[in-house]
Structure 1
Amino acid sequence: MKLNAVISSIAWVPLGLVLAAPLAHAANPGGDVYVGGGLSLNRAAGLAGKVDSTLASQGIASSTSGDHTSTNPNLQLGYRISPNLAVEATYDRVGKMDLQSNISAPTADTASGSWKGHGLGLHVLGIAPLDDKWSLYGRLGVERWHTSLDLASNAGGSTSYAASDSHTSLALGAGTAYAVTRNIDATAELVHYNHVGDAAATGRTGLNEFNLGLRYHFM
């Protein structure tokens, strides 16, 4: 991913926290409401092959290569119901993954484009405190993803494809949190989404996210 895209992703995090903090505090000023944000490294396994399968269903024979990872921001708004249970609303983004395709049919051509997506989720966290600083947690939830695939000829040929789709995915993850202060946690987490995208429209792939972030608790 290009440096300016990474910088742009980082810039979204403080903006989201600033916007979410007043809403969280107003919702429950006396409870353990928290907001969080960070960066995620996303890996879409076998994305190029999934794109080839989608193009084949549209009558386009292709051999595609390109990115399968990207670095992006994520945001959370959560409420810790008890020491062992929390619920979260999340925003996740998979930035543009660049693709290049060699087209053999219906006419020989080369094309380039991108695959990208963003999602809104609702998750339940089961928490196991280890001591007054460290805790482990598991995540189970659903995420509504919107994905898009766009390809166009590199040389003014006839190849042109653009499609988008919205789809719901299961989310399963595990992570650890460290209490930096009474109000601030640092987190590291791995989350798997079982399928993101549509096989007939944009290409369906499993997505793994490794997240590093901070959470602020309004206690």
Structure 2
Amino acid sequence: MTRTHCRLFSFAGRFSLLTLALMASPFAMADTPFWYGGANIGQSQATIDDARIASGLLANGLTAGPINDIHRDLGFKLYGGYQFNKNFAVEGGYFDLGQFGFNTSTIPLGTLSGNIRLKGVNLDAVGILPITDKFSAFGRLGVTHMQTNDTFVGTGAVNVLNPNPSSRDTNLKVGLGLQYALAPALMLRGEIERYRIDDAVGNKGDVDLVSVGLVYRFGAPTPTPVTRAYTAEPVVLAQAPAPAVAVPVEAALPPPVPLPPPIPLPVKVSFSADSLFDFDNAAVKPAGRLELDKLATDLRGVDFDVINVTGHTDRIGSHAYNQKLSTRRAEAVNTYLVQSGGIPAHKISAKGVNGSDPVTKPGDCLGNKATPALITCLQPDRRVDIDVSGKL
């Protein structure tokens, strides 16, 4: 009976090693880093080298018939990570690429089948490129520690020398993906990854995983109370019951209720940026809209000359990034007050001033590194000021 060697698996690549153009050096910002976790599921695919299988059989005096391949399976991964800033994160997890295999008949009469199972753990560096406030692209480069388990079965003229080879090996992986924020704490992710593998019988190859999944952000920001610099609540006067005596009609009428006094000008209102906007975002969220609606209602009937909206960030991060973020947030408040609050567009203006006008005093918050303690200490500096000036 002829003996057949088991070096039968090889996975040919379908695309070259990707250059991760999205990978960027860490970029400090004025928002809080966070932990996250997620899960993806999708289709894994490998290319089985039928020519190598036929060549191996022929070297042992056997001719292979048609070779039937199983080169697709269900793959999944579970992962967690830490995002340091808007451009960089580190991610690790567990993956299972599924099982692949083949079967064929031989002359002289016999059969041969083989299967390979691939699973392991990984650690990746992830570079992130924000495209809009909610949509971003990302690339990853990482290492895997993979367990490979093979099973070979021969009948008739085929005698398998080692039916259950296995290996553990460390290899590279790369990937590209897109991510969309469904909510402040929930993101939808789709990606394609290439895993370099060792097939346990001396060959190297690649397996691709195309998957979709959900990512949950731990400690997502929640609305914080808005700091207001004035009170303009309606005045409600209690009325005494009318006496039960006959009086002239004119005397029975209650005195008119005086209107609330007009808002004294000038007025300055300061809103916490954390209450108006989500993480690294310039879109006014629902809680912030309620506060801006209240301000617009209070200003109705007030003869003001101009409203100046000024966005502020803290001092963490680069000047260019903070200037852009503070300007976008000021313009978002400006637009909302015009479109939803009825403020005349020619009477309102917006600008961003980076972190050049802090509320905190020098020495209040020590350090320059974006630690959670420093970010919390500098929270009062992240704000939007609205100045209303004019005459009564």
Please confirm whether the aligned pair reaches a TM-score higher than 0.5, indicating the same fold: yes
Deviation at 1:46, TM superposition (A): 3.1
Q: Is the 8 A contact 1:99 1:115 kept in 2?
A: no
Partner of 1:40: 42
Give the number of the structure with larger relative contact order, counting CA–CA contacts within 8 Å between residues 6 or more apart. 1
Letter in 1 for 2:150: L
Across the two proteins, how many residue pairs are aligned to each other?
186
Partner of 1:168: 170
Whole-Å separation in 2 of the counterparts to 1:74 and 1:92? 4
Whole-Å separation in 2 of the counterparts to 1:57 and 1:122? 41
Alignment of 1:2-151 (within 5 A): 31-49=33-51, 64-104=67-107, 108-151=109-152
Moved more, 56-65 or 84-93: 56-65
Whole-Å separation in 2 of the counterparts to 1:214 and 1:75? 10
SS at match of 1:180: strand
SS at match of 1:45: coil
Q: Which runs of 5 or more residues in structure 2 are unaligned? A: 1-31, 220-392
SS at match of 2:183: coil
Deviation at 1:61, TM superposition (A): 7.2
Deviations 1:34-85 (A, max 9, x none): 1110213111123545656777899987564311111122111111011100
Whole-Å separation in 1 of the counterparts to 2:90 and 2:210? 20
SS at match of 1:86: strand
Larger radius of gyration: 2
Whole-Å separation in 1 of the counterparts to 2:199 and 2:180? 37
Q: Which runs of 5 or more residues in structure 1 are unaligned? A: 1-29
Give the TM-score, by structure 2 length: 0.43
Whole-Å separation in 2 of the counterparts to 1:97 and 1:145? 15
Give the TM-score, by structure 1 length: 0.73
Q: Percent identity?
A: 26
SS at match of 2:152: strand
Whole-Å separation in 1 of the counterparts to 2:74 and 2:80? 21
Whole-Å separation in 2 of the counterparts to 1:154 and 1:180? 54
Is residue 207 of structure 1 aligned with residue 210 of structure 2?
no
Whole-Å separation in 2 of the counterparts to 1:172 and 1:58? 38
Deviation at 1:90, TM superposition (A): 2.1
Partner of 1:15: none
Q: Is the 8 A contact 1:146 1:167 kept in 2?
A: yes
SS at match of 1:162: coil
Whole-Å separation in 1 of the counterparts to 2:61 and 2:199? 17
Q: Is the 8 A contact 1:98 1:114 kept in 2?
A: yes
Q: CA RMSD in A?
A: 2.9
Deviation at 1:187, TM superposition (A): 0.5
Whole-Å separation in 1 of the counterparts to 2:125 and 2:194? 14
